Amino acid sequence: MRATTPLPPHVASELRPGAPPMVADFEREMLVALSTRPKCISPKYFYDAAGSRLFDRICDLPEYYPTRTEVGLLARHAREMTALFGPGADLVEFGAGSVTKVRLLLDAWEHPGRFIPVDISAEHLADASAQLCRDYPGLQVMPLAADFTRPLALPPQTRRIGFFPGSSIGNLGPIAAVRFLRQTLQSVLGGGLLIGVDLVKQPARLHAAYNDSAGVTAAFNRNLLVRANLELGAGFDVDAFDHYAFYEPVQQRVEMHLVSRRAQTVCVAGRAFEFAEGESLHTENSYKYTIDGFRQLARRAGFMPGAVWADDERLFSVHWLAAPA
Ligand code: AVJ
């Protein structure tokens, strides 16, 4: 997805002064998205409270295999994984969401250190962290509401372990993925990163995972427009956009789009933007990897790929990336 593009002046001047930072970011990036061709916006804007709840529902869908496959791997191999953490290290989770998967690690980790869940959805993170504190009274939990693709202000610590499940690395293109891993390497030096990576597989299986029969993924995708109407007063006719997701085998990624069924005008920060009939807003890429392909990417970022755990069907993988001091 596009890095934050500097704003054309006629857009910069339109920004609503005093808007909360997250809304200001959303407004700025939506204005850029609507001002360029093809129109595309970061998938991070899926995750308002409603979007986070919709994603939780996606994780339980029969077609969406990544979550249950990864949870199976974490449950089966948590002892081996946490043995690599060592005692008393801080555990930083990127994109922690509902903070469910980490419980499998906490239950197996002999001497856990502090837990720092990071997520862009502040409200969702606060609720999930409070519940974790109740369930793990001896654990020090320090939630951080932030965009994990940007450098994080982490509490000082000699040994940190990163935890990045769910194949959220897949939202970043290859170059941005290496950049993110390089940035993360700096914050886990002397420790390492435990990361979930969705694997290349039959296109039909991928297609089904992003086009579930219950329509939850479509609602999750459209929720970005609902959010733009709520927070930016955009006036999207949400029902006049089709959810369109497909696997693109050359770049080995699933793409999600919202395609306008008719010509329509939306208005953000007082400016009108046209959508032609059939024009799309590209909302997400989800890159898939082979195990060797991902290890090469991790090496390029400076990590030392170690143990890998994958299910028998090789649908999903979890990698330990050591970060020598
Ligand atoms: C959270 C980014 C890993 O790409 O599979 C699920 C998000 N998008 N269904 C993914 C998502 C559509 C998910 N990640």
Position 120 scores a pLDDT of 87
Q: Strand 144-145 vs strand 160-164: parallel, antiparallel, or unpaired?
A: unpaired
Q: Strand 241-248 vs strand 144-145: parallel, antiparallel, or unpaired?
A: unpaired
Residue nearest to atom 14 of ligand 1 (CA): 168
Give the 3-state secondary structure of the chain.
CCCCCCCCHHHHCCCCCCCCHHHHHHHHHHHHHHHCCCEECCHHHHCCHHHHHHHHHHHCCCCCHHHHHHHHHHHHHHHHHHHHHCCCCEEEEECCCCCCCHHHHHHHCCCCCCEEEEECCHHHHHHHHHHHHHHCCCCCECCEECCCCCCCCCCCCCCEEEEECCCHHHHCCHHHHHHHHHHHHHHCCCCEEEEEEEECCCHHHHHHHCCCCCCHHHHHHHHHHHHHHHHHCCCCCHHHEEEEEEEECCCCEEEEEEEECCCEEEEECCEEEEECCCCEEEEEEEECECHHHHHHHHHHCCCEEEEEEECCCCCEEEEEEECCC
Q: Is the CB of 316 under 6 A from ligand 1?
A: no
Position 18 scores a pLDDT of 62
Q: Is the CB of 166 under 6 A from ligand 1?
A: yes
What's the gap in Å between 284 CA and the centre of ligand 1? 8
Q: Is the CB of 98 under 6 A from ligand 1?
A: no
Position 324 scores a pLDDT of 86
Position 17 scores a pLDDT of 56
What's the gap in Å between 206 CA and the centre of ligand 1? 11
Report the atom number in ligand 1 closest to the C-alpha of 166.
Answer: 3
Q: Is the CB of 286 under 6 A from ligand 1?
A: yes
Position 27 scores a pLDDT of 95
pTM for the model: 0.91
Report the atom number in ligand 1 closest to the C-alpha of 167.
Answer: 3
What's the gap in Å between 12 CA and the centre of ligand 1? 31
Per-residue pLDDT of the chain (325 residues), as tens digits, is: 444 444 444 444 444 556 677 788 999 999 999 999 999 999 999 999 899 999 999 999 999 999 999 999 999 999 999 999 999 999 999 999 899 999 999 999 999 999 999 998 888 899 999 999 999 999 999 999 998 988 999 999 889 999 999 999 999 999 999 999 999 999 999 999 999 999 999 999 999 999 999 999 999 999 999 999 999 999 999 999 999 999 999 999 999 999 999 999 999 999 999 999 999 999 999 999 999 999 999 999 999 999 999 999 999 999 999 998 8
What's the gap in Å between 313 CA and the centre of ligand 1? 20
Q: Is the CB of 168 under 6 A from ligand 1?
A: yes
Residue nearest to atom 10 of ligand 1 (CA): 286
